[in-house]
A and B are shown apart, each in its own frame.
Chain A
Amino acid sequence: MKKMILSAAIGAAALGLASAASAATLDDVKAKGSVTCGVSAGIPGFSNPDDKGEWTGIDVDYCRGIAAAIFGDPSKAKFVPLSSKDRFPALQSGEVDVLTRNTTWTISRDTSLGFNFRTVNYYDGQGFIVKKGLNVKSALELSGAAVCVQTGTTTELNLADYFKTNNLQYNPVVFEKEADATTAYDAGRCDVYTTDQSGLYAIRLKMKNPDENIVLPEVISKEPLGPAVRQGDDKWFDIVTWVHYAMVNAEELGVTSKNVDEMKNSPNPDIKRMLGAEEGTKIGTDLGLSNEWAYNIIKQVGNYGEVFDRTVGPGSPLKIERGLNALWTKGGLQYAPPIR
Chain B
Amino acid sequence: MAGMALNSDTPTTSKKASSLINDPKARGIFYQVLTLALLVLFVWTVTQNTIHNLQKANIASGFGFLNGRAGFDIGQSMIAYNSDSTYGRALIVGILNTLQVAVIGIITASILGFLIGIARLSRNWLIAKLAEIYVEVFRNIPPLLVIFFWYKGVISALPQARESLELPFSSYLNNRGLFLPKPVFGDGISLVLLALAVGIIATVIMARWAKRRQMRTGQPFHTVLVGLALILGLPILAFLAIGAPLSFDYPVAGRFNLTGGTVVAPEFMSLYLALSFYTAAFIAEIVRAGIRAVPKGQTEAANALGVRGADVTRLIVLPQALRIIIPPLTSQYLNLTKNSSLAVAVGFADVMAVGGTMLNQTGQAVEIVAIWVVIYLSISVTTAVFMNWFNARMALVER
Contacts and interface: CB of A to CB of B under 8 A. Distances in A.
Interface of A: 2-12, 14-16, 18-19, 22, 84-85, 88-89, 92, 108-109, 111-114, 134, 141, 143-146, 151-153, 156-157, 159-161, 163-164, 170-176, 180-181, 184, 187-189, 191, 230-232
Which 10 pairs between the two chains have the least Cβ-Cβ distance?
A152-B360, A11-B50, A160-B83, A8-B47, A113-B363, A15-B53, A114-B58, A7-B370, A112-B60, A114-B59
Contacts of B344: 176
A19 B349 CA distance: 34
Contact of B46 (A12, A18, A145, A159): A12
A14 B353 contact: no
Interface string B156-182: 100011000000000000011000000
Interface string B226-247: 0000000000000000000000
Contact of B73 (A152, A172, A181, A191): A172
Given A16-B53, A141-B255, A188-B161, 5 more contacts: A12-B46, A19-B53, A85-B359, A151-B360, A160-B73
A329 B109 CA distance: 67
B74 A172 contact: yes
A152 B56 contact: no
Interface string B247-275: 00000001111010000001100000000
B357 A187 contact: no
A7 B52 CA distance: 13
Contacts of B54: 11, 15
Contacts of A19: 49, 52-53, 56
B255 A143 contact: yes
Contact of A157 (B254, B255, B349, B361): B361
Contact of A144 (B257, B359, B363, B366): B257
Nearest to A8: B47
Contact of B357 (A6, A145, A151, A163): A151
A24 to B, nearest CB: 13
Contacts of A2: 374
B75 interface: yes
Interface string B30-62: 000000000000010011011111101111100
A117 B282 CA distance: 52
B256 A191 contact: yes
Contacts of A174: 74-75, 347, 349, 353, 357
Contact of A152 (B84, B161, B359): B359
B50 A112 contact: no
B356 interface: yes
Interface string B338-351: 00000011010100
Given A10-B369, A22-B56, A232-B58, A144 B259 contact: yes
A322 to B, nearest CB: 31
Interface centre among A6, A19, A230, A231 (most CB of B within 10 A): A6
Interface residues of B, number: 54
Interface centre among A10, A84, A184, A189 (most CB of B within 10 A): A189
Contacts of A112: 59-60, 362-363
A3 B155 contact: no
Contact of B57 (A9, A15, A111, A180): A15
Contacts of A161: 71, 83
A23 to B, nearest CB: 9
A159 B357 contact: no
A125 B311 CA distance: 72
A189 B155 contact: yes
A137 to B, nearest CB: 13
Given A10-B370, A189-B155, A152 B71 contact: no
A141 B83 CA distance: 20
Nearest to B84: A164
Given A7-B50, A84-B360, A146-B256, A171 B75 contact: yes
A272 B280 CA distance: 74
Given A164-B83, A231-B57, A157 B155 contact: no
B57 A7 contact: no
Interface centre among B59, B266, B356, B362 (most CB of A within 10 A): B59
Contacts of B266: 189
Nearest to A151: B357
B134 interface: no
Contacts of B51: 11
